[in-house]
Amino acid sequence: MTRIALDDPRYYLNRHVEWLEFNRRVLEEARDIGNPLLERVKFLAITANNLDEFVEVRVASFLQRIEHGSRELSPDGLTAEQELGKVSAAMQIFVRDQYKCWNEELLPALAKQSIRVLRMDELDAGAAKAAKTFYDRRVSPMLTPVTVDPSHPFPHVLNKALCVAFLLHRRRGGNGKPYFGVVTVPRALPRLLRVPGKNGSIDYVSLQEVVSAFTAKLYRGFEILASAPFRITRNSNLYLEEEETRSLLDAVDSQVSQRRKGDAVRLEIEAGAHPEIVERLVSTFELDESLVFRVNGPVNLQRLFHLYEETARPELKYPPFVPRQVHVGHDADSMFEAIRHQDVMLHHPYDSYDAVVNFLRTAAHDPRVLSIKQTLYRTNSDSPIARALLEAAGKKEVTVVVELKASFDEATNIRWARSFEDAGVQVFHGVVGLKTHAKLALIVRQDADGKIRRYAHLGTGNYNPSTARYYTDLSLLTRDEAITSAVHNVFNYLTAYAEQPNYKPLLVAPRDMAKTCIALIDREARHARRGRPARMIVKVNAVVDPPVIRALYRASQAGVEIDLIVRGQCALVPGVRGLSSRIRVRSIVGRFLEHSRIFYFENGGKPEVFLGSADWMQRNLYERVEVLFPLKDPQHCERVCTEILSSYLADTRKARILGSDGSYARPRAVRNGHGFSVQEHLMRLAAGAVESQRNAAVHGPAVVYTSKEVPAGAANPEAEAAAQDSSNAAV
């Protein structure tokens, strides 16, 4: 039998194309008539936001590599030029499908619900008058028309700003050649304008329509030959030489302000735009034709978030979801005592994030707490956790490691870092050359018995209560001595470069996480070869690291059954005979963003479960400080296996299965919402717990939620799916 080369490019999917496949799965949710209509609109807006970030960072990186003459090949054997060609072609198809979804599916469906997004020529007299009034009062005073000529150079166009280009003819004194005009629309203006509707309809008109219709009078003395709205996306990578930078905070602050001025990467322009307008813009921004996107509709579909938010039609949105409240004590002493006696594991958003906020807020105000250490990667602009840390400053030792280079959240993090410094918090920015992505909090407390103990929170998601309502993540509150001691050592590494030989029982990137993950995979392979139980279930956002993929291939060849639940990119090719026939890959996209990272190893009949902040990507394993932590409580391991992982593997409604050709397909025909949805299943479990809590409130106070209280039936989602299908069939 011919030996298979594990690094053969044929056995690696292109990670960037696979990212676009993930975004297509989000687009499928916009097209899914089983989802509420306005949620479908939001899914479409999400695809646009995702694509913006992809272009700003990933496509920009291709252009940088090409400019620098890089000859490095991707794992699937492509040069940067070849990758850019493949990705840009896939993007063109994707953008076409986005607008097809908007024009042919969502717009007609909205109209049937008396929600209309109209063109200016479709407005009746009353609506047109309202649009004109809005333009005169709000828009016109903020516009600065520019006519490009030798004394008026082409204006600087901000990143992703809505602009309108005009082809102009001077009525008197011109040389016969058309002039070029540009108007930038201020960001402060709403991109969709509500206008009076008929018979109770909710009517909007896009701002680009309004500007294009009325801006002509700003160009007095000119005849407008043609106009077209457009948008430029710029390179938003940050360039930093950290070793030579005295203040990383000041350096990142400066770079963020320069980001808007990065090189142009993409042009979006209205389909049917005059060829000379397109030619002028392409020449000005020095863009290849493959990065010009002609769109049949609003040049920024991300602005459809406004339609979702402003349209008060709750029956067209998901029903409100109330997470179960997890009460860990009623005051500081009882909270820390509860954690001292048993770890608390939380599954967000099904378990409310309030328990994490309360843990940190209580610590901030508890006089027995001596110090608090915290990492912050992404948090909201009005974070109760950050405010609690500010309030604790001056009363106890507070140390915060703020990651300034969290893409697109730099400005928020800079503001918090400066506020912390002003309040007397010790602020650090991690290890030079590495992003701090670990989610850690460490509390040192002198308990009522006089003993000093450490308590920790470790999580898979950001310290952001807002996103915790719709990101699936896991949290652990613990005072386990080995774990809290290791967390303490990780903070020493972040603040003082104090390296340890290892951080057991934690896995810490870039120190030993990649090596240990591969060792754990290889251990499963050894168990399989010796006839012992060997199984892996891994839930992550991405699997693209070649050494990890090669280890997974080896394990499959040895006989290990492997299920990968990968939300986004997966470069591994499953189902190849003799290589990956025992590997199955699925992706789940639904109401909540799948964000938790779970690693289950059967380990010859002695299962181990790790949770953490890292995906199996190069940047997570080698370029960031990341932490994976073990679940030591057998009941928590059981909950992860039976309530969570088994449910994900049973999903037949929102799951897509990766084929060996890189395409995704649903596991079986799903009609009219039939099948089992893991997110709906977990919401039902949470609703049952909430109802139990309400009933218990009549008889006494709520207690700590532990895995002992997992509702009956949680481990058998297949039975629930069968019952649901039977019910649907009866209908």
* Active-site amino acid positions: 437
Residue 374: strand pairing partners: 400, 441
Location of structure tokens 């002609």: 294
User: What phi-psi label fits residue 46: left (phi over 0), alpha (psi between -120 and 50 degrees) or beta?
Assistant: alpha
Between helices 80-100 and 60-67, what is the axis angle to 10°?
Answer: 160
CA–CA separation, 25 vs 16, rounded Å? 14
Between helices 354-365 and 332-341, what is the axis angle to 10°?
Answer: 120
Beta carbons within 8 Å of 385's beta carbon, 6+ residues apart: 356, 357, 360, 361, 374, 379, 463, 465
Query: What is the CB neighbour count within 10 angstroms for residue 731?
Result: 5
Pseudo-torsion of CA 559, 562, 568, 574, nearest 10°?
Answer: 30
Residue of 273, 83, 255 whose CA lies nearest to 165: 273
Q: Cβ distance 531 to 615 under 8 Å? A: no
3-state secondary structure of 568: coil
CA–CA separation, 731 vs 725, rounded Å? 10
| Buried/exposed 193-221: b ≥16 CB within 10 Å, e otherwise | bbbebeeeebbbbbbbbbbbbbbeebbee
DSSP 432-487: TT-EE---EEEEEEE-TTS-EEEEEEEESS-S-TTGGGTEEEEEEEE--HHHHHHH
